Structure 1
Amino acid sequence: IAINTAQGDLSFGDLLRQYNDSRTFFSHVITAISTQLLDWNLKAEMYFNMLLAGMTLIVLIGLYHCVDPQFTWVMILPFSWLVFSLMPHVNWLWAIQSVYFFSNLFFVLMLSTIVSFNPGMRPLLLAGIFALCATFSFANGLLTWLVLLVAIWLFGYRQWRYYLFWVLMMGASLAVYFNGYLFRPGNITATTFNPVSILGWVIVFVGSPLTNRAMIAETRVVVAFILGILGVCVVCINLLYLKRVGRGWDELASWGLLALFVVLSGAVAGVNRMSVFGIDGAIASRYLTLNTLFWVAVVALIALTLRTVWHRSDNPAPLLKYANLVVLVVLASVFFYSTLESLNPALPIPPEARACAEAYPQTQDTSCLVRLHPAFNPNRRAYETSFEIIKNRLDEVVAYRLALYADSDD
């Protein structure tokens, strides 16, 4: 995208080009703009990711305000801690990880649209536009259509024309998405459809945002599994209690659907990745921007339950009240401990590897670039693009003075 932009021959088809299993249209747009205006300044793209996270935070706070406006100011802090968590450090540093930030933002905008307006064709159209944007942000955005279907039912869309319109919007979106799509079945094996294996992956996936990256992988998987079970139980129990005491779906559905989106995303990732990475793949840091949304839902539901219990004179469900308080303290303690361990992360790119990359225009030495990315290893065949093509692309980046070479005099 950056090279085509620099050459002046970027097309709309390039922006829609498949990236792994996704159509990352919006990330491609940002790359094109960054290249045109800033010589592909990756730091600027990194800061843009922070802007996307901030916008997501504002929408989440707005969703809570719709339910409990008097307590919204209290929720700003825990929501901020989660959305701007340090655990997904790679996503904050790598510009291409904007795919997760775009997907999150468009999903919560879709939810906010359904929550904020009475049932009608215009809100449904707007929600469909956000679902379309999520679809072309990252592959898990496809799940937004399924969640939207559940959402419109819960929020009172009962006429058949709404569901016909949903089918038409989703059908058009999928037709464009899968036009010329390259299916890559190599990651999917019979074992990945084992329900027990997928369930285990999803639970670890859900629990991973609170785990400590300094742990060895085996220990971290166990801790994530325990936290995942705890989180799922908290969501289900609090949803059932709040519905039982008279809270409507208009107050609860946002958080249940937010949790559902993460769970479904974890299931899809498990089917596609388990055969390659095993259960350890569920704790990958690149997923943490997405699955942190589950814990936003957990915190919101705990707050709503505690507020409901405390405002009732008959003091119902005292056990549930104290259980939620204990869970909240435990989760906060685990989160802050893991955050402290994340304050001094290892550099994703060693200084010597950066020095090697900076010297590449003069040395033409690619052997040391393996430390930047394994695709620079000519003997590794796991990548569809050949080493020669990758090297030629790097030469073009140098020639057009993009990214690291923007200020180069050579």
Structure 2
Amino acid sequence: MGILIITYSVNIPYWDQWNLMPQLFIKISQNSLSWQDLIAQHNESRKLFPRLIFLGLGYLTNWDVRYEMLAIFLLACLVSVNIYRLNRLTLRLNLFPTLLLGFLANILIFSGIQYDNWFWGIQLVVFMPIVCITTAISAIYSRLNIRYKFLICMMLCIISTFSYSNGMIAWVIVLPVLILVSAKSRSDLLKQKWLFLSWIAVFTTNIIIYFYDYQKPELAPSIIPAFQNPEQTLQFLLAFLGSPLGSGAQISPLIYSTFIGGVEIGIFLCLCLYLIKHIQDNSLLERMIGWIMIGFYAIFRRNFL
């Protein structure tokens, strides 16, 4: 995929890129760039950290957007490394099955069906939350001190929140993994209560900052029709989940994607039920919770776009 990006990418900013960056470059040249400019709302998101990345790349490359595409590829590689590491830490399989699972995961991570993401620099924001979430969960399974784990996860959740609108889910996704993996008993939870209270305080502060002077975009759809038409909402969710495997099929892509999405949801629910059935198995719970929460992010992130 990296070779394809280098070969076929074009140095032409496209669509939202014109709305996001040129004004910042102008303000830098005028020495008038402010904090408000960096954290300003763009659509539903506050793209603070992507803006910093784009500014850095723009300064180094004279705003050659092809380097933004390569940055996207590097983020995808980081997700791949995190998934492989989680495989090694939680599944504890031999080398060949681990490599096979990593290969299958990479087919999805580097799928060509998401060509819009690979060849549109601003889509770096789409990769930021999943990079932060998988990196945080990978850190949780490490041998680091619990305080370092909390600090690392907090920083990654802050980056996720101020990268893309659905990135704020990271606070909810990461915390259960942090609790169940790092705290072995209720007494451990009580000993670390200040860490959890700090987590809640930082999360609340992030939400306040995020929604301060927040304006709903004019083109943003209302959530009410989703409840008024539950069948269409469910079909949309299933089709969205199944589209990476269903698009391009000879039969109706919508029907096929919906079917694939239904299969994915079914498998995920079976895993959740299996975990609930064996909830007393602390070892199994500790090994599965990271994957379960990544699955929850994959399912529910669409509602926060």
Shorter-chain TM-score range: 0.7 to 0.9
Q: Which runs of 5+ in 1 are unaligned?
A: 270-410
Q: Select the residue among 147, 156, 176 that pairs with 1:121.
A: 147
Matched residue SS, 2:141:
helix
Matched residue SS, 2:116:
helix
Deviation of residue 124 (structure 1)? 1.5
CA distance in 1, matches of 2:242, 2:115: 17
Deviation of residue 242 (structure 1)? 6.4
- Contact 1:202/1:267 (<8 A) preserved: no
Q: Quick check: 1:23 aligned with 2:52?
A: no
Alignment match, 2:128: 102
Q: Quick check: 1:198 aligned with 2:233?
A: yes
Alignment match, 1:91: 117
Matched residue SS, 2:204:
helix
CA distance in 2, matches of 1:243, 1:193: 28
Deviation of residue 75 (structure 1)? 2.3
CA distance in 1, matches of 2:112, 2:103: 15
Q: 1:2 to 1:166 in 2, by over 3 A?
A: same
CA distance in 1, matches of 2:231, 2:182: 35
- Contact 2:45/2:164 (<8 A) preserved: yes
Answer with 163-172 or 147-156: which moved more: 147-156
Q: 1:117 to 1:198 in 2, by over 3 A?
A: farther
Alignment match, 2:160: 134
Amino acid at match of 2:288: L
Deviation of residue 2 (structure 1)? 3.4
CA distance in 1, matches of 2:78, 2:208: 29
CA distance in 2, matches of 1:235, 1:97: 27
Q: 1:376-404: per-residue Cα shift (whole Å, max 9, x none)?
A: xxxxxxxxxxxxxxxxxxxxxxxxxxxxx
Q: Select the residue among 237, 262, 269 that pairs with 2:298.
A: 262
Q: Select the residue among 176, 180, 202 that pairs with 1:154.
A: 180
CA distance in 2, matches of 1:263, 1:75: 21
Q: 1:244 to 1:4 in 2, by over 3 A?
A: closer
- Contact 1:2/1:40 (<8 A) preserved: no
Matched ranges for 1:60-79 at <5 A: 60-67=83-90, 68-70=92-94, 71-79=97-105
Amino acid at match of 2:290: S
Q: 1:2-49: per-residue Cα shift (whole Å, max 9, x none)?
A: 343252433332221211000112221222122212111011111111
Amino acid at match of 2:47: T
- Contact 2:247/2:253 (<8 A) preserved: yes
Q: 1:189 to 1:61 in 2, by over 3 A?
A: closer
Which structure would you say has the larger Rg? Answer: 1
Q: Select the residue among 222, 226, 233 that pairs with 1:188.
A: 222
Amino acid at match of 2:71: F
Q: 1:224-266: per-residue Cα shift (whole Å, max 9, x none)?
A: 1111111111123245446757551221112111110111112
Deviation of residue 210 (structure 1)? 0.6
Deviation of residue 163 (structure 1)? 3.0
- Contact 1:64/1:72 (<8 A) preserved: yes
Q: 1:279-303: per-residue Cα shift (whole Å, max 9, x none)?
A: xxxxxxxxxxxxxxxxxxxxxxxxx
Q: Select the residue among 137, 144, 156 that pairs with 1:111.
A: 137
Alignment match, 2:24: 4
Q: 1:360-391: per-residue Cα shift (whole Å, max 9, x none)?
A: xxxxxxxxxxxxxxxxxxxxxxxxxxxxxxxx
CA distance in 2, matches of 1:90, 1:49: 11
Q: 1:113 to 1:22 in 2, by over 3 A?
A: same
Q: 1:116 to 1:239 in 2, by over 3 A?
A: farther
Deviation of residue 215 (structure 1)? 6.0
CA distance in 1, matches of 2:93, 2:249: 39
- Contact 2:40/2:46 (<8 A) preserved: yes
CA distance in 1, matches of 2:24, 2:199: 36
- Contact 1:203/1:229 (<8 A) preserved: yes
Amino acid at match of 2:40: R
Matched residue SS, 1:155:
helix
CA distance in 1, matches of 2:106, 2:223: 39
- Contact 2:246/2:253 (<8 A) preserved: yes
Alignment match, 1:163: 196
Q: 1:195-247: per-residue Cα shift (whole Å, max 9, x none)?
A: 5443332222211111124668xx22211111111111112324544675755
Q: 1:45 to 1:118 in 2, by over 3 A?
A: closer
Matched residue SS, 1:140:
helix
CA distance in 1, matches of 2:78, 2:124: 13
- Contact 2:146/2:182 (<8 A) preserved: no
Alignment match, 1:55: 78
Q: Quick check: 1:207 aligned with 2:233?
A: no
- Contact 2:275/2:285 (<8 A) preserved: no
CA distance in 2, matches of 1:223, 1:77: 24
Percentage of matched positions with identical amino acids: 23
CA distance in 1, matches of 2:223, 2:267: 33
- Contact 1:2/1:32 (<8 A) preserved: no
Amino acid at match of 1:144: A
Amino acid at match of 1:56: V
Alignment match, 2:65: 42
- Contact 2:140/2:182 (<8 A) preserved: no
